[in-house]
Structure 1
Amino acid sequence: MAVIRGGRHSNGHGGNGHGSGHGQRAGGAAPPAGGPLCPDCGANNAARARFCQQCGTSLQPTACRQCGSTLAAGARFCAQCGGAAG
C-alpha cells in the first residue's frame, strides 16, 4: 500500500527520495564547483565555461555600449552609467 506524503507516493519504488533528479549529472556526480552560475536559468557551470551547459546563455561579460565599462554576464543595465545592456 502506498502512503502519500506531501503529494508524493512513498511506496519504496523508484526515486532516491531527493527530488525529481532534474539538473543532476549522470552517475550522481555533483555539478562542477567554482564555476559561474547562469544568469538566466541558475545552472552551475564548469569554471571555464563560456556558455551555459543547460540553456546556452553566454557566460562571458560584455562592454557597455554607452561608456565601455565591463558588464557582468546577464546584466540588464550598466553599473557605471545606468545604460541599457541590450
Structure 2
Amino acid sequence: MTDTPPDRLSSNPKSPFYDQALLERGVGIRFKGVEKNNVDEYCVSEGWVRLTIGNTLDRKGNPMTMKLQGTVEPYFRDTAEPKEA
C-alpha cells in the first residue's frame, strides 16, 4: 500500500469509491484545519466533504448527509512502522 490516501474515498459500501482495506487501515480527515470524525465521503481534488448529520436517516434508511466545500487533508491514522508480535 502507498502512504498517500486516495483522492476520493467513501464509507458507503454501495459507492464506487468504497475501499474496505483503506477504511480498516484508518483514514483521518482534516477539513479547513479541523479534525472531523463524521465524514461519510470526501474528494480532495474537488474540495468537499460529505458529513453525516447525527443519527438521522432518510426514507431509504441511509444516514442524512450535508456536503461542505473547503480544504480537505486526508491522512492515515496508523504509522508505517511494523508492529511487534
TM-score if structure 2 supplies the norm length?
0.26
- TM-score with structure 1 setting the length: 0.25
Which has the greater radius of gyration?
Answer: 1
